[in-house]
Structure 1
Amino acid sequence: MASVVDLITYPVKGCAGVRVSQAQLTPAGLPHDRSFMVTDTGGVFRSQRRDPRLALIRPEPSPDGERLTLRAPGQEPLEVAVDLESARGDVELFGEPFRAIDQGAAVARWLSDFLGKDSRLVRVPPEHDRIADGLTPGTSGWADSSPLHMISLASLDELNRRITEAGRDPLPMSRFRPNIVVDGWSEPHREDLARHIEVGDTALAFAKLAVRCAVTLVDQDTGAKPGPEPLRTLATYRRGPDKGVIFGSKFSVLRTGKLGLGDELGVTAWESHTGTGS
């Protein structure tokens, strides 16, 4: 029986994750996940694709979500009183327009100093109603798409087996920035086949395969891009129907509730195949 062995929420899109032992799952995923986003002064989101130093920023939301502390190497920590009331402004995520609440000048200066680029911090407004697409659409904050990203340790083990056979160093799970890490499946990529999952008090439904991008090249501990892995190896055996490189799967929340480490996954519906190449 597979079970949850890691839960990670990413309060600020593109920044470091926060591990939790248990959480009250929301329609938009783990609490605080991608509630905040760093943008340029024109409102366009920043990503590790072009700004890998985002990985070094460690956000710490208060349990009630009313305050956010940011930490980064060489920077004094900054505590932000979260603003949910100010006027909404225009932002852009993957070319789509949204409305967001700017979190003020102090945090903008802090981010700009650390990233070396003029930046702002914005938050999802309470009325945010973004629905991400997929086999099962789901509510989402500033995540790339669906609210939950799941990967099994078996999938990572298979990838690292191939990487080390080629004489290169294995990679940690952090390269893929999952929300839910699962152990107990003997075969890799079982998460690609699960269509309906009961775990803890919650229910999840498959949305889509996770297409991987250059963010996976960023060492999450250093903010550097040390080489072409994992994309080089994944490209040899993990191609999706549209030929994109895939690893892990995205899920939507069907039923909210308590979710914690050690919770067993009850898969009540499976797909017979993924259509991936090998």
Structure 2
Amino acid sequence: MAVARVVELSSYPLKGCAGTSAPEALLTPAGLAHDRSFMVVSEDGVYRTQRRDPRLALIRSAVSADGGRLTLQAPDFDSLHLDVDTSGARRTVDLFGAPYQGIDQGDAAADWLSDVLRVRSRLVRVPPEHDRVTDGMTPGTSGYADSCALHVISRSTLDLLNRKLTERGAPPLPMNRFRPNIVIDGWDEPHTEDRARRIRLGDTELGYAKLAIRCAVTMVDQASAAKAGPEPLRTLAGYRRATQGGVAFGTKYAVLRTGKLSVGDEVTVTAWGDSEL
């Protein structure tokens, strides 16, 4: 097997919105620094997702290194720069029916997001005392991610899907359709990430949690925010049906050892297992 390396690192400071790629990132117990640390919610506190609000894909966010400043950008809108509030009043927010706490980031953020999304919205941040425990084979923590701290996909996994899409007469898809945190190249066998139980990336280490079960967000074009279904779910259903239901593509991991991650870091699997598919 060829030497595997990290070839892409992407964080999503604002859950459900566009990703930010970087040549290096700090890996914290909750994933890449600031990943899914903010969330757009309805006025009632229910999380917004591209499944219902695909225009989230148009919003780009950036957080300063110290976490104190947040910048929001979207086509045809002026950028918004915010001082991040980490000490304000907590409010209950709903993520997949589970109650968590969030710190509201004020009316300026709410008005800007409401204009972009065309529906009344608020912005909340994970409070410092957030102590979520995630599930899977290796438990961990995360901010407002759907589940585990990190989502990993290999290039060979996407290459296989794109070959199958081409065979059906459908166009190939870019990696950002699947919104991974870490992309690995050098694993010749597609879905190697399904079988890797412990992975060392540079000075950091990850533990396998579970397969990533895909939803309708994969049918949203991340550049235009247009719903472009039925692919890739139709093709994935032909060869990636999971025993627990749905289709699996990519893998979720928990953080075992924190540190700095860089594009180009060598990836070493130190423990293997059988695919749960």
Q: Shorter-chain-normalised TM-score: which range?
A: over 0.9
Please give the alpha-carbon distance, in whole angstroms, between the structure 1 residues aligned to 2:109 and 2:244. Answer: 40
Q: Does 1:167 align with 2:172?
A: no
Report the equivalent of 1:4: 6
- Structure 2 distance, partners of 1:184, 1:55, is 29
Which 10-residue stretch deviates more, 224-233 or 40-49?
224-233
Which of 91, 115, 140 does residue 89 from structure 1 map onto? 91
1:268 aligns with 2:270: yes
Deviations 1:92-112 (A, max 9, x none): 100000111000000100000
**In 1, Cα distance between equivalents of 2:236 and 2:201:** 29
Structure 1 residue 195 corresponds to structure 2 residue 176: no
Aligned partners of 1:101 and 1:260: how far apart in 2? 31
Secondary structure at 2:70 match in 1:
strand
**1:217 corresponds to 2:216:** no
Name 2:183's counterpart in structure 1.
181
Amino acid in structure 1 at the alignment position of 2:250: G
**Cα deviations by residue, 1:37-95 (Å, 9 ceiling, x for unpaired):** 00000000000000000000010111111000101011111001100011101101000
In structure 2, distance between residues paired with 1:180 and 1:91: 28
Give 2:111's aligned residue. Answer: 109
Supply the distance in 1 between the matched residues of 2:276 and 2:67 (Cα, whole angstroms): 41
**Corresponding residue to 1:36 among 38, 53, 57:** 38
Mapped to 1, the partners of 2:231 and 2:97 lie a distance apart of: 27
Task: State how far apart, in whole Å, the 1-side matches of 2:40 and 2:64 are.
Answer: 19
Q: Distance in 2 between the 1:275 and 1:9 partners? A: 26
SS in 2 for 1:163: helix
Aligned residue type for 2:61? P
Alpha-carbon distance in structure 1 between the residues aligned to 2:41 and 2:23: 30
Cα deviations across residues 4-46 of structure 1 (Å, max 9, x unaligned)? Answer: 0000000000001110111121000001100000000000000
Post-superposition Cα deviations, 1:152-209, rounded to whole Å, max 9, x if no partner, equal 0000000000000111100000000000000001110000000001111101000000
Aligned: 1:73 with 2:61: no
Q: Which residue of 2 aligns with 1:247?
A: 249
1:231 to 211, 233, 238: 233
1:137 is matched with: 139
Stretches of structure 1 lacking an aligned partner (at least 5 in a row)? none
Change (3 A) 1:275 1:256: closer
Shift of 1:226: 1.8
Partner Cα distance (2:69, 2:241) in 1: 41
State the partner residue of 2:49: 47
Distance 2:201 2:64 in 1: 26
Partner SS, residue 219 of structure 1? coil
Tell me how far apart the structure 1 counterparts of residues 188 and 25 of structure 2 sit (CA, whole Å): 27
CA distance in 1, matches of 2:24, 2:203: 11
What residue identity is the alignment partner of 2:46? V
1:183 to 1:130, Cα distance in 2 relative to 1, 3 A:
same
**Amino acid corresponding to residue 90 of structure 2 in structure 1:** R
Query: Could you tell me which amino acid in structure 2 is paired with residue 274 of structure 1?
Result: S
Q: Which amino acid aligns with 2:22?
A: V
Q: For the residues of structure 2 that align with 1:39 and 1:107, how far apart are their CA atoms?
A: 12
How far did 1:243 drift?
2.6
Aligned to 1:62: 64
- Relative to the length of structure 1, the TM-score reads 0.98
CA distance in 2, matches of 1:147, 1:180: 11
Classify the secondary structure of the residue corresponding to 1:205: strand
Structure 2 portions without partners, runs of 5+: none
Code of the aligned partner of 1:85: S
The DSSP-based 3-state class of the residue aligned with 2:226 is coil
Partner Cα distance (1:189, 1:32) in 2: 27
Q: Does structure 1 conserve the Cα–Cα contact (< 8 Å) formed by 2:211 and 2:276? A: no
Q: TM-score, normalised by structure 2?
A: 0.98
